[in-house]
Structure 1
Amino acid sequence: MSGLREQKKAATRTALSWAAVRLTVERGFSAVKVEDIAAAVGVSPRTYNNYFSSKAEAIAFRHLERSLRLATDVRDGPPDEPLWEAITRASLRSLEPGPEVEHMPPQQPDEWPAGRQAMWAEPALQAELLRANKIAEKELAAAIADRTGRDPESDLYSRLVAASVMAANNVALELSVEAGQTEPMESLLPRALRMVATGLPTP
C-alpha cells in the first residue's frame, strides 16, 4: 500500500506541475492562481500547498523531473553503451510527454511559442530553474560516476560532463522558445550534445 500511495503522490505532483506550466503558458504568469492549478487537477488548494510552495516551484518541477529522469536513465542504461550515446538516448527520452499531457493537452497550440517565451522570462521562475539545475546536475554527475567507476564526490570528469550536459539542455531550451526559432528542442538538444561531446571545435 505504501508503494501505491507514493506512486499516487508522485502522479499528483507531476500533474500539478504540468497544469501550472500549461495554464501559465496560456494565460500568463500573473493571471494564474494556485486555485486554478489545483482545480485543473481536481484537488484542493490545500493539497497543492502540500506539494509546492509557489507557482514558480511547480513550473520548475517539470524541468527538474525531466532532468532527474535523464540521470536515472543514464545510470540504468545498458552497461556496454558508450557514455555519450547513453546521455543522448536518455536526453531524448526525457523529452517525451507524460500521461498528464494527454489528460490536459495544451490549448491554442499556435499561441504556445509566445506563451512559453514569456513564461521562461519570469524572474521568479528563473531562480527556481537555477535551483532545479543544481539538484539535477548533482544527480547526473553521480550517475556518470557510477557508469565510469569513479567517485562522484571527488571526480572532476563526471562533474564536468554533468555540468556540460545541463548547459546543453539549458541552451537548447532557451533557443527552442526564442521568437522566430523553428528548430524544436528534440532536434536542438542532440545537436548541442554532439557539439559538447566532440569538444566544441571551432566552426
Structure 2
Amino acid sequence: MSAPTTEPGLRERKKAATRQALHEAAMRLALEHGPERVTVEAIADEAGVSRRTFSNYFANKEEALLHGHAVRTRMLLDQVRRRPAAEPAWAALTAAVAEFYGELGDLDPEWVTQSRLVRRHPSLAAAQAQTFAAMERELAAEVAVRLGQADPVGVRAQLIAAVFLATLRVSLNVWLERPTERAYRDLVRDALAESGRGFA
C-alpha cells in the first residue's frame, strides 16, 4: 500500500541526481578545457548517460553549466514567497535575502567558481542573463501581489524586481573582485539598504 506514495519521491530523487551529475560533469569539463571546447556529447559521456538523456534535462551545455545558479535562484524565490503577505515588498525581498544567506552560511565554493566562470565567458553571461530575466518576471509578479491597487499598471513592481536583482548582481561582481575585504552577505545587506531607499 505504501508504494504509490513512495515511488514518485524516489523518481524525483533519481531525476535530481541525474541532473546534478550532468551539471557536475559539465563543470569539470569546463574548468579543465574551457566552456567553448565542451560539447553536449562530452558532458553526457562524462556523466555516463546518453545524449538523449542529456536532452531530457537540459536544452544546451550552458543550461547544464548554470544549473547551480538556477537552483539558487529558485531557492531565493521560494524564500520571498514565504515572507508574510502583509510585509512591504522591499522589506520582504531584503529579509528573504538575509535569511537565504544566513541559512547558507559561507558562500558555496562551487557557486563562486561558477560565478567566476560566467564573468570570463560571454556565452555563459548571455545564458545567465536569460535566467535573471525569468527571475525578474517572477519576482515582479510576487511584488505586484503585495502592492495591489497601489500599482495598477505594474510599473512599480517591475522597477522593484529589476533594482533588486541589479543590486544582487552588482554586489556579486564587486565581491568577486575583492573577496577578502568584506563578507558577501554584509555587502549585499548594505547595497540593498542603499538601493531600496526609494521603495521604503
Under a length normalisation based on structure 2, what TM-score does the superposition of the two structures give?
Answer: 0.71
Q: RCO higher in 1 or 2 (8 Å CA, sep ≥ 6)?
A: 1
Residue type of the partner of 1:29?
A: P
How large is the Cα RMSD of the aligned pairs?
3.5
Following superposition, the deviation at residue 148 of structure 1 comes to 2.9
The corresponding residue for 1:124 is: 123
Residue type of the partner of 1:166?
A: L
Query: 1:40-92 CA deviation, whole Å, 9 max, x = no partner?
Result: 65544432222223221222333233223322321222234443332123224
Residue type of the partner of 1:50?
A: N
More helix by share: 2
Aligned partners of 1:151, 1:18: CA distance in 2, in Å? 45
Secondary structure at 2:133 match in 1: helix
Aligned partners of 1:150, 1:12: CA distance in 2, in Å? 44
Structure number with greater Rg is 2
Aligned partners of 2:72, 2:185: CA distance in 1, in Å? 13
Residue type of the partner of 1:59?
A: L
Task: Tell whether the 8 Å contact from 1:84 to 1:197 is kept in structure 2 after alignment.
Answer: yes
**Which has the higher mean CA deviation after the structures are superposed, 159-168 or 3-12?**
3-12
2:84 corresponds to 1:78: yes
Matches within 5 A, 1:136-175: 136-149=135-148, 154-175=153-174
Residue type of the partner of 1:91?
A: V
Aligned partners of 1:21, 1:90: CA distance in 2, in Å? 28
Task: Tell whether the 8 Å contact from 1:75 to 1:146 is kept in structure 2 after alignment.
Answer: no
Name stretches of at least 5 consecutive residues in structure 1 with no aligned partner: 107-111
Aligned partners of 1:79, 1:69: CA distance in 2, in Å? 18
Following superposition, the deviation at residue 24 of structure 1 comes to 3.0
Name stretches of at least 5 consecutive residues in structure 2 with no aligned partner: 1-6
Residue type of the partner of 1:71?
A: L
Residue type of the partner of 2:130?
A: R
Following superposition, the deviation at residue 22 of structure 1 comes to 5.6
**Which has the higher mean CA deviation after the structures are superposed, 81-90 or 50-59?**
81-90
Provide closer, same or farther for how the CA distance between residues 42 and 81 of structure 1 changes in structure 2, counting only shifts above 3 A.
farther
Secondary structure at 2:66 match in 1: helix
Aligned partners of 1:50, 1:24: CA distance in 2, in Å? 21
Provide closer, same or farther for how the CA distance between residues 164 and 116 of structure 1 changes in structure 2, counting only shifts above 3 A.
closer
Under a length normalisation based on structure 1, what TM-score does the superposition of the two structures give?
Answer: 0.70
The sequence identity of aligned pairs, in percent, is 38
2:75 corresponds to 1:69: yes
Aligned partners of 1:40, 1:92: CA distance in 2, in Å? 37
State the aligned residue count: 187
Task: Tell whether the 8 Å contact from 2:40 to 2:61 is kept in structure 1 after alignment.
Answer: yes
